[in-house]
Each structure stands twice: as structure tokens, then as C-alpha cells.
Amino acid sequence: MQKALDVGLPIVAIVFLVVGGVLGLTVAPADKDMGDVYRIMYVHVPAAWAALLAVTVTFVASLVYLLKNNWHADALGEASAEVGVFFGALLIVLGSIWARPTWGVWWDWDPRLTTAAILLFAFAGYLALRRFVDDPERRATWAAVAAIVAYVDVPILWFSVRWWRTLHQIQNTGESTHSVMTKSLLWNALAFALLYVWFVRLRYRVALARQAEELAEPPETEPAHTPAP
């Protein structure tokens, strides 16, 4: 089963990415305002959803660690945070590529963009914190608290486009888009979701291996005195 998932997940994800790519780049009609440039949304939006899913999993895993002292939850939190930082960085780069022809700038300190950048740096900080603390228990506790604090940004990010009507548009609904547009987005979103699961599975193993290494280390004690003959 594990092997089937390891092989099957990326294969199915690649198939979905190809279908989503073909639909998004060739079949879906141009947008009435944004023309063809909106096609970047088919990868930008799934990257955003994957990043939010990743930090949500880290948030829940952090709560579980703090409540149950569960080391698997700590490893899952670490794994999902790294994957979240990857998707978050991708999200910001893709948004920037889309913003240049649409807004005329690569970056703007719009509330949505700013809160997305804060989230990325907060979870990058979470990963940095994990590198700096040697003691596994202290590291897991501090990291869990950091993840919960960082997660406060998520609802602000999500509602920012409704609370402050600035440059970034609000979320579209399926009613306002052509059905092929919705399908293109869903194929890519499914591909990104599968890739998220596959990435976390791989990264989780790395985190577990490190935990096993650390927990197997003998405690640091004073060297025993050799008795005098």
C-alpha cells in the first residue's frame, strides 16, 4: 500500500497537471478583462490553496503536539510547514508574474499580498527556529507555539480582500466563470493537492528519521572514573 501510494500519487498528479495545463492553456476561453494573462490563475490559485492547506495541517499538528505530546504530530507539523513554505513561495512568485502585465508592477503592498508575505516569512521563521534549537522537546514546544501564533495571519489573509477593497480582487465564484475555466482550475487544484500529500509523506519520513536519530543518542553523562588498580 505504501509503495503503491509512493508511485501512484506522483503519476496521478502529473496526469492531472497535464489535463489542467491543456485545458487552462488551450481550451479555456480568454477572460473578458484580463485576456489570456488570467491563465496564470490556474497555477497561482492552486498554489495558494496548497499553501493554506499545508499551514492548516501544521497548525492542527502543533495543537496535537502541545495537548498530547505526540512526536508524530511534531514530525507532521515540520513536514507540512516546509511544504507550505515551498507552495507559499511559489504562490508569491506566480502572483508577481501575473501582477506585472495586469497591474503594471511586480509587487504592491496591498493587504492580500502583504499578509501572504507575512505568512511565508512566519513559517520560514518556524523552520529556522527548528534548526536553531538542539533540545528536541524544547524545539517541538517552541515550534508548535510559533506555528499557532503564525497561523493567526491566515484568517486575516483570507478576509483581507473583503475587509480592505484595494488592488487584489475578491475570490470568484463558480457562477461568474465559464465551466471550462472552473474545470481547468479544479484539475490543477487536485494535482496540487495530490502533490502536497506526496511531498508531506516524503518530508515526514525525513523528520521521523531525524527524531529517531536524536532519541537514540545516549544521554550526555560524566565519563566514569577508572578504578585505581
Partner 1 sequence: MNGTIVGGWEYIWAAYLVTWGSLALYALSLVWRARKAKSGEPQPGSKP
10 binds partner 1 (CB under 8 A): yes
35 binds partner 1 (CB under 8 A): yes
- Of residues 151 and 199, the one with the C-beta less far from partner 1: 199
8 binds partner 1 (CB under 8 A): no
Using CA atoms, how far apart are residues 36 and 28, in angstroms rounded to an integer?
9
| Part in contact with partner 1 (CB under 8 A); list of ranges 128-136, 148-156, 164-172, 178-186 | 128-136
For 92, how many CA atoms within 13 A lie in the half-sphere containing its CB? 19
Q: Nearest 5°: phi and psi at 133?
A: -95, 125
| Part in contact with partner 1 (CB under 8 A); list of ranges 34-42, 54-62, 148-156, 170-178 | 34-42
34 binds partner 1 (CB under 8 A): yes
Which positions ≥6 away from 9 have C-beta within 8 Å? 194, 195, 197, 198, 201
With beta carbons less than 8 A apart as the criterion, state whether 52 and 85 touch: no
Using CA atoms, how far apart are residues 223 and 19, in angstroms rounded to an integer?
63
Using CA atoms, how far apart are residues 157 and 177, in angstroms rounded to an integer?
23
- Of residues 106 and 164, the one with the C-beta less far from partner 1: 106
112 binds partner 1 (CB under 8 A): no
- Of residues 137 and 155, the one with the C-beta less far from partner 1: 137
- Cβ 228 to partner 1, closest distance in Å? 33
35 DSSP β-pair partners: 31
| Part in contact with partner 1 (CB under 8 A); list of ranges 113-121, 147-155, 178-186, 208-216 | 208-216
- Cβ 73 to partner 1, closest distance in Å? 19
| Part in contact with partner 1 (CB under 8 A); list of ranges 57-65, 68-76, 169-177, 198-206 | 198-206
Q: Grid coordinates 523552520 are at which residue?
A: 127
| Part in contact with partner 1 (CB under 8 A); list of ranges 108-116, 151-159, 176-184, 211-219 | 211-219
Q: Which of residues 61-100 bind partner 1 (CB under 8 A)?
A: 86, 90, 93-94, 97-98, 100
Q: Which of 205, 194, 158 minimizes the C-alpha distance to 18?
A: 194
Q: Nearest 5°: phi and psi at 170?
A: -75, 165
